[in-house]
Amino acid sequence: MTWHLALRNLARNRRRTFLTAMIISLSLAALVLTDGVISAMADTMVRSATRLYGGDAQIHQRDYLAARDESFTFGEVAALLDQLDQSEWVEAATPRALAFGMVSSSASNRAVQVMGIDPSREARVSKLANVVVEGDYLDAGGSETQLLIGWRLAQLLEAELGDRIVLSVHNQIDETAEQQLFRVSGIFRFNARELDENAAFILLPRAQQMLGIGQQIHELALNLRQASLAGQADLPLFAQLSNADRIAEGWPQLMPQLDGMLQMTRYSTVIVGVILFVLAALGVINGLFMSIYERVWEFGVLLAIGTRRRVLFGLILAEGLLLGVGAIVIGLVVGVLVTVLVAQIGIDYGGMEVAGVALNEVIRPQLNLSQLIILPIWVLALTLLACLYPAAHAARIVPARALHKSL
């Protein structure tokens, strides 16, 4: 009878019930969409930070990242690449020699990060091969003087395809400045300022020779078959690849600022959720109180004929539960539809950089099980929580006062 009564009480003032339900529904729908956008943005940021160039994980000499000292290299590269090529975890891996250097054109010069790469392996790890907008990607069998620079760097150097560029780095053996002549063979456009303005790519053997590091490298970038695994600091693969000399780490360890940013975006979902929940809860409390005040005499009658206060309390909670369940179904439908619609249209941030990561992709809100299960459970739980106050109020009604002069 409690459910029977609760359902009929909700149907008593359909407009108010609908409006109260809409507060809950739209809050849930907004939360589903917000979570979808933030999830998609976080994924885009991670993907931009990892799959654009950096890789899901990297191996370095243990002290390299802290010191950025070009003498901190590691070897056994061929064996390591063989191991990675055969690993079930790894999709692709590429070696890199890195150095701070200077590029000089006839018009200008500029400090850059020189990156020696293996073209074919690099193409499987980063997007470099896909973002060449002028000229050609590096060819391992081609000229040793091939040089890939970003479009912004080309502008700063006033350099064009085929122009001669002098590249200077610090040779680790004879401790001298090593200068060699290159020709601009390609211009790339990552749409990421850091790379477009400050990076110059040459062939790995040439870089190793200029730096005097033999067959050694500074960095080995790798993509995992399941990208999300890179977030696990204790991934067994990282332990297998690490030794006393080198260390393998996923992107959260390599880019703590990005990890922190993502944590903040998750908190922002919570903050948005709390704001929406508070508004929804106030709406629910208001709706139920209006309903209760209209029925005070009725509660007086129920109490007078022997209804226990606990049953009356349960009746209000039952009304809240039915209201919440109905509102959640509507909210989920609306939330999914809006999220799917926005995903189809997409949100274009136009390459805006967040935490140093360019949002190059059109962001398409994602739907996941958490939005369809966890969020509704939270909404329902908080709706019931919001019902506690009106329910307690109804259960405390004094029948004699409620009935007033009608006994």
Partner 1 sequence: MSTVIETVGLSRHYGSGDTLVKALDAVDLRIEAGEFTAIVGPSGSGKSTLLQLIGGLDHPSEGEVHLAGQPISSYSGRQLSDFRRDHIGFIFQAYNLIPVLSAAENCEYIMLLQGIKADERQRRVATMLQQVGLAGREDRRPSQLSGGQQQRVAVARAMVSQPDIILADEPTANLDSQTGMDLLDMMVELNQRDGMTFVFSTHDPKIMERARRLVYLRDGVVEREERRD
307 forms part of the interface with partner 1 (CB under 8 A)? yes
Least CB distance from residue 304 to partner 1, whole Å? Answer: 5
Least CB distance from residue 19 to partner 1, whole Å? Answer: 20
Rounded to whole angstroms, the Cα distance separating 275 from 277 reads 5
Yes or no: say if 32 and 365 are a contact pair by the CB < 8 Å rule. Answer: no
Interface with partner 1 by CB under 8 A: which range of 199-207, 295-303, 358-366, 379-387?
Answer: 295-303
Cα→Cα distances 228→20, 40, 56, 200, 232, Å: 40, 14, 9, 29, 8
68 forms part of the interface with partner 1 (CB under 8 A)? no
* Secondary structure E strands in 214-315: 219-224, 246-250
63 CB-near residues (< 8 Å, 6+ apart): 69, 72
Site size with partner 1, rule: CB under 8 A: 28
392 forms part of the interface with partner 1 (CB under 8 A)? no
Rounded to whole angstroms, the Cα distance separating 60 from 29 reads 45
- Residue of the chain from 107, 239, 278, 400 that contacts partner 1 (CB under 8 A): 400
12 forms part of the interface with partner 1 (CB under 8 A)? yes
The smaller minimum CB distance to partner 1, of residues 225 and 401, is found at 401
**Could you give phi then psi for residue 186, rounded to 5 degrees?**
-165, 155
Interface with partner 1 by CB under 8 A: which range of 159-167, 202-210, 276-284, 293-301?
Answer: 293-301
302 forms part of the interface with partner 1 (CB under 8 A)? yes
Cα→Cα distances 54→94, 126, 219, Å: 10, 7, 10
The smaller minimum CB distance to partner 1, of residues 225 and 404, is found at 404
121 CB-near residues (< 8 Å, 6+ apart): 81, 92, 93, 94, 95
Interface with partner 1 by CB under 8 A: which range of 111-119, 155-163, 279-287, 309-317?
Answer: 309-317
43 forms part of the interface with partner 1 (CB under 8 A)? no
Measured in residues, the chain has a length of 407
Give the closest residue to 32 by CA, choosing from 268, 349, 275, 376: 376
Distance of CA 301 to the CA centre of its chain: 56
Least CB distance from residue 296 to partner 1, whole Å? Answer: 12
- Residue of the chain from 309, 326, 362, 389 that contacts partner 1 (CB under 8 A): 309
Cα→Cα distances 112→97, 137, 201, 362, 374, Å: 14, 19, 10, 29, 47
162 forms part of the interface with partner 1 (CB under 8 A)? no
For 212, left (φ over 0), alpha (ψ -120 to 50), or beta?
left
Distance of CA 36 to the CA centre of its chain: 11
- Residue of the chain from 308, 337, 345, 346 that contacts partner 1 (CB under 8 A): 308
189 forms part of the interface with partner 1 (CB under 8 A)? no
66 forms part of the interface with partner 1 (CB under 8 A)? no
Least CB distance from residue 314 to partner 1, whole Å? Answer: 12
- Residue of the chain from 86, 226, 344, 406 that contacts partner 1 (CB under 8 A): 406
Interface with partner 1 by CB under 8 A: which range of 57-65, 138-146, 300-308, 338-346?
Answer: 300-308
225 forms part of the interface with partner 1 (CB under 8 A)? no
- Residue of the chain from 5, 22, 325, 336 that contacts partner 1 (CB under 8 A): 5
Give the three-class secondary structure for 313: helix
Interface with partner 1 by CB under 8 A: which range of 21-29, 124-132, 385-393, 396-404?
Answer: 396-404
15 forms part of the interface with partner 1 (CB under 8 A)? no
Cα→Cα distances 264→39, 45, 81, 258, 259, Å: 12, 13, 36, 10, 9
User: Which stretches of the chain bind partner 1, using CB under 8 A?
Assistant: 1, 4-5, 8-9, 11-12, 297-298, 300-311, 398-400, 403, 405-407
